[in-house]
Amino acid sequence: MISIWFAAMLVGVWLLLWGTFSVANVLSGIAVASIIVLWIPELRLSLKETHLRPVALGRFVGLVVFDLLRANWVVTREILTKGSNIRTGIVEIELPDCSDEVVTVVSNVLGLAPGTMPIEVRRDPVRITIHVLHLHDLGQIRNDVYRLTELAIKAFGSEESVAALGSQLAVGPTSTTRRLR
């Protein structure tokens, strides 16, 4: 059932990329989606383990939109005002244990926002290293990334990841930082 929804989403993206709704585009989109779903067994296994929780997804999308607006505002203000408030740095943050898919979502969302760029992701334990344009409060950066990860796990994570999240939240995030010269 999940594969059908995934294939339908792929067809929708296919139609958006072509920009026109025609019989040929729909049929070619169905063909491409079928090939992707049928010929990539890892994708089918991954989709079966993925859970989509609509309320948590709404919270995740809301946070992403808010963070994008805030980051754009900060960069715009930096460009338009005199002087420089830039204080770059590299921050390594240990994330709660989660699937590769959730880590990919978090990394890609961080790359969307102006002022942050993922540099490296490591496993065991899961750590993400990001470059930050405005590193004024390490705790705030760490908490923002941790909150994004928490909402991504609640929206997309497995039942085990969501259950384990409670104990990991009690411990809290850890991080190290290095200044760039």
- Phi, psi (degrees; rounded to nearest 5) at 131: -90, 130
All structural domains of the chain with their residue ranges: 2-49, 54-179
The identity of residue 91, as a single letter, is V
CATH of range 54-179; options 3.30.300, 3.30.70, 3.90.1570, 1.10.3470: 3.30.70
Tens of pLDDT along the chain (181 residues)? 456 777 788 888 888 888 888 999 899 989 988 888 787 766 655 555 557 788 988 999 999 999 999 989 988 988 898 888 888 889 998 888 888 888 988 999 999 888 899 999 998 888 999 999 888 888 888 889 999 999 998 888 877 777 887 766 555 555 555 544 3
Q: For residue 117, what pLDDT is reported?
A: 93
Task: Quote the tokens at residue 166.
Answer: 């409670």
Instruction: Check whether the bond before 41 is cis (ω within 30° of 0).
Output: no
Q: What is the 3-state secondary structure (H, E, C) of the chain?
A: CHHHHHHHHHHHHHHHHHCCCCHHHHHHHHHHHHHHHHHCHHHHHHHHHCCCCHHHHHHHHHHHHHHHHHHHHHHHHHHHCCCCCCECEEEEEECCCCCHHHHHHHHHHHHHCCCEEEEEEECCCCEEEEEECECCCHHHHHHHHHHHHHHHHHHHCCHHHHHHHHHHHHHCCEEEEEECC
